[in-house]
Amino acid sequence: MGGVRFAATLTGTMIIDGMMHLEVVGQYWDGLLEEVLEHYDAAGIDKGVVLNTWMPSRESNDRTMAACTQYPDRFVPFGHVRPVDDWQSELTRMTQEFGWIGLKLHQGELRHGQPDMLTATRDIVARAGELGIRLVKIHLANYEAVDSLAQEFPQLTWILPHMGCYFHGQEMQRYCELARTRPNVYLDTSTTDRYADLDRAVRWAGADKITFASDGALFSPLVEKSKIDTLRLPTPHRVPRLTDDEYAMIMGGTMARLLGLH
């Protein structure tokens, strides 16, 4: 019995990786950018949102700028700051000098700023919003804190990596419902441990609130993309498979809109 065949990507669909680290937990090497592009070409990915973390803020942003200058058609920059650095000056530089609109924050770095991690986060994003940052991709595994920040800063778009619940897949539905409820909250699919639940997650959150991301270079864009590709086939929970329009939104349409690429 022959199965239904479909192309790996849909004609006319821009595939955007919503989060590519140009390092592996702060480690980088000559040729890494070309290796990322080799992965992208193998997976049919057109562009990637790139950033650097786990290093001083200025160094991370210098590396991101250099990569985007070298490959402007493939890489879209997000800035990064740590509260232990002069983050105020770096936010000014990335917005006023570089013109960036996206910021990446990680709880592993935010917790070293002030005794109250939420206060440190609030101070950073308040200033970032004043300077023109529009998108905040934040790894913060604290539902109440994320919900509070989204309500306090409605002018910012919050994108939660790993469906909001890094290796706590039992919380996925809760974060999906938060994304559905808050118009400024989105999720990304990277390194989701319970990827078999992604079929239900699309229904919990809505396809328009979920964005594809790989969390490379540590994780494979080809593997992460396959988690979405398989949702166009029959799913384990018997929910409707992704339509072409839903697939296009998740794989790049929504990120293109948020980034202003349309």
- What mean pLDDT is predicted for residues 139-148? 94
Give residue 1's pLDDT. Answer: 34
Task: Give 80's pLDDT tier (boundaries 50, 70, 90).
Answer: very high
Q: What is the pLDDT of residue 11?
A: 53
- Write out the two tokens for 213: 């991301």
Q: What are the tokens at 33?
A: 């950018």
Query: Does any domain span residue 4?
Result: no
* pLDDT of amino acid 116: 84
- Residue 228's domain is classified under what CATH number? 3.20.20.140
CB 217 within 8 A of CB 205: no
Confidence of residue 4 (pLDDT cuts 50, 70, 90): very low
Mean pLDDT, range 142-162, rounded to an integer = 97
Q: What is the mean pLDDT of residues 209-232?
A: 97
pLDDT of residue 83: 95
CB 202 within 8 A of CB 210: yes
- Tell whether 213 is covered by a domain: yes
| Integer Cα distance of 233 and 3 in angstroms | 10
Other C-beta atoms within 10 Å of 237: how many? 10
Q: Is residue 7 part of a domain?
A: no
The residues, any chain, with a CB within 8 Å of residue 231's CB and separated by 6 or more, are 198, 199, 202, 241, 242, 247
Task: Name the band, by pLDDT with cuts 50, 70 and 90, for residue 112.
Answer: confident
Instruction: Report if residue 145 sits inside a domain.
Output: yes
Angle subtended at Cα 255 by Cα 249 and Cα 259, rounded to the nearest 5 degrees: 145
In the chain, the number of structural domains is: 1
Inside any domain, residue 128: yes
- Identify the pLDDT of residue 229: 97
Q: How far apart are CA 48 and CA 160, in angstroms?
A: 16
Task: Dump pLDDT digits (tens) for 118-133.
Answer: 999 999 999 999 999 9
Terminal CA-CA length for the chain:
41
Radius of gyration of the chain (CA): 18
> Residue 52 domain-assigned?
yes
Domain span at residue 99 reads 16-259
CA 70 to chain centre: 22
Task: Count the alpha carbons within 13 Å of 45 in the hemisphere toward its beta carbon.
Answer: 33
Instruction: Please report which confidence band the pLDDT of residue 10 belongs to, taking 50, 70 and 90 as the band edges.
Output: low
The predicted pLDDT at position 168 comes to 72
Residue 116 lies in a domain: yes
What own/partner pairs with CB < 8 Å and gap ≥ 24 does 179-185 have?
179/205, 179/206, 179/209, 179/210, 180/204, 180/205, 180/206, 180/209, 182/147, 182/150, 182/151, 182/158, 183/154, 184/150, 184/154, 184/155, 184/156, 184/157, 184/158, 185/146, 185/150, 185/158, 185/160, 185/209
Domain-embedded: residue 216: yes
Rounded-to-integer distance, Cα 134 and Cα 179, Å? 17
